[in-house]
Amino acid sequence: MNKKIMIIDDEPAVGEMMTTLLESEGYEAMVAYDGPGGLEQMGKKAADLLLLDYMLPGMDGIEVLCEVRHRWPELPVIIITAFGSPELRARAGKFNVIDVVSKPFDTLKLLEQIAAAV
């Protein structure tokens, strides 16, 4: 059975690229373009990993992460952001994320992190 990876990113091009990349590696990708949409999808179909953008409309990545930790405390999470500040890394670290990855990212390194997490 393929591992399911939820991608929450407000940029459709990033969602499409990540979907193509993950499916080429044998994963099942689910995509949402905002936090509430991603949470709704994960409520219907369990994910094995969450790739979460920080800058999202409505709910930012940390707000989504708070809800994820409340509902799925053990779900592995990797934050992907164009704003990889030390402050964000510190805030995200409090929620036990695997990593905060800055855009543009090294796809091979990200795939290694995903494989290790799932």
> pLDDT digits over 6-38, tens only?
999 999 999 999 999 999 999 999 999 999 999
Q: Where are the domains of the chain?
A: 4-117
Asked which of 40-44, 70-74, 77-81 is least confident by mean pLDDT, the reply is: 77-81
How do residues 61-75 score in pLDDT, each as one tens digit? 889 999 999 999 999
CATH T-level fold of 4-117: Rossmann fold (3.40.50)
Residue carrying structure tokens 């779900």 = 75
Does the predicted TM-score (pTM) go above 0.85?
A: yes
Distances, alpha carbon 58 to alpha carbons 9, 10, 36, 95, in Å: 12, 11, 8, 20
Q: Where are the alpha helices (DSSP H) in the chain?
A: 12-24, 35-44, 61-71, 86-93, 107-117
